[in-house]
């Protein structure tokens, strides 16, 4: 069984976020990058399936050379090899095009990724890949098991409950908690990751379907106002006129 796991390179949630002077680009200065946390669920579950059923796990990233430390981390966690599409991830459609090209060429049985990236929260790529490849896409899944060598069973959240889906290989799925407990690399994994194959390929196409016009930070929260317990009228006035929740 060949599994392709797609990972994104995203800012650490503890990083201070800034934008360029014209607010048209993200300012990378001083920002620490990590593997997208949702993708770590997909990666760990893929490794668990490989250990249980055999096969291989390939990590795919669409990004420039500065993403390679986190690709090596994925290899240290347990992936067998990696592919980096040497391009800036322009938008979800562009990324989906790259994943589709690699997946078709490699003949993978399963294409896994996180439900979304924590920087843009788009929730788009997995469904686009499924559509481009003409195969099922199950999103977002919180459980993934193999029924037999050609069928997987997934559980996903729906409004008011959960849905259990059985799907034939190949398919696309996006992962979320509690699919598994994400792994951290051990020393042996870190050492072996240095010699595992990391192939760099040129992008295909180049078309992007969207453009980021500008970025902005959320408005700063106003100070807390304390109202005397006996002054219900003032509280109602503030809730109606300032908070606008009444």
Domains of the chain, by residue range, sit at 2-218
| Predicted local distance difference test score (pLDDT) of residue 25 | 81
Measured CA to CA, the distance from residue 116 to residue 114 in angstroms comes to 5
Regarding the domain delimited by 2-218, which CATH topology (the fold level of the hierarchy) does it fall under?
A: Rossmann fold (3.40.50)
Measured CA to CA, the distance from residue 23 to residue 13 in angstroms comes to 20
Q: Is the peptide bond before 178 cis (omega within 30 degrees of 0)?
A: yes
Instruction: Indicate the SS3 state at residue 176.
Output: coil
Whether the per-residue pLDDT at 29 is higher than 90: the answer is no
What pLDDT band is residue 41 in, cutting at 50, 70 and 90? very high
Q: Which residues contact 21 (CB under 8 A, 6 or more apart)?
A: none
What is the pLDDT averaged over residues 164-174?
96
Whether the per-residue pLDDT at 45 is higher than 90: the answer is yes
What is the pLDDT averaged over residues 90-94?
92
Model pLDDT for residues 208-218, shown as the tens digit of each residue: 888 888 888 88
What pLDDT band is residue 42 in, cutting at 50, 70 and 90? very high
| Predicted local distance difference test score (pLDDT) of residue 36 | 95
Taking the model in full, what pTM does it have? 0.85
Task: Compute CA distances 216 → 121, 212, 243, whole Å.
Answer: 15, 11, 22
What is the pLDDT averaged over residues 222-241?
83
Identify which has the larger pLDDT, 195 or 232. 195
Lowest mean pLDDT among 69-73, 90-94, 168-172, 241-245: 241-245
Task: Decide: 184 and 123 in contact? Cβ < 8 Å.
Answer: no
Q: Which residues contact 19 (CB under 8 A, 6 or more apart)?
A: 25, 26, 27, 215, 216, 217
Lowest mean pLDDT among 14-23, 26-35, 146-155, 187-196: 14-23
Task: Decide: 119 and 13 in contact? Cβ < 8 Å.
Answer: no
């Amino acid at each position: 069984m060949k599994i392709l796991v797609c990972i994104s390179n995203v800012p650490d949630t503890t990083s201070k976020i800034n934008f360029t002077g014209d607010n048209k680009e993200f300012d990378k200065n001083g920002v620490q990058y990590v593997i997208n946390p949702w993708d770590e669920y997909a990666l760990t579950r893929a490794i668990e399936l490989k250990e249980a059923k055999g096969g291989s796990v390939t990590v795919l990233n669409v990004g420039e050379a500065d993403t390679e430390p986190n690709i090596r981390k994925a290899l240290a966690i347990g992936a067998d090899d990696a592919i980096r599409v040497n391009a800036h991830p322009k938008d979800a459609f562009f990324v989906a095009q790259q994943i589709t090209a690699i997946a078709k060429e490699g003949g993978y049985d399963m294409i896994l990724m996180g439900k979304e990236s924590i920087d843009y929260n788009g929730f788009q790529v997995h469904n686009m890949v499924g559509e481009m490849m003409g195969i099922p896409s199950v999103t977002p899944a919180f459980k993934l098991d193999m029924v037999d060598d050609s069928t997987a069973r997934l559980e996903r959240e729906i409004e008011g409950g959960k849905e259990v889906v059985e799907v034939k290989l190949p398919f696309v799925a996006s992962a979320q908690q509690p699919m598994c407990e994400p792994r951290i690399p051990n020393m042996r994994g870190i050492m072996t990751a240095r010699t595992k194959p990391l192939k760099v390929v040129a992008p295909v196409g180049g078309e992007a379907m969207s453009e980021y016009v500008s970025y902005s930070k959320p408005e700063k929260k106003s100070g807390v106002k304390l109202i005397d317990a006996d002054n219900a009228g003032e509280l109602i006035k503030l809730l109606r006129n300032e908070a606008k929740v009444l």
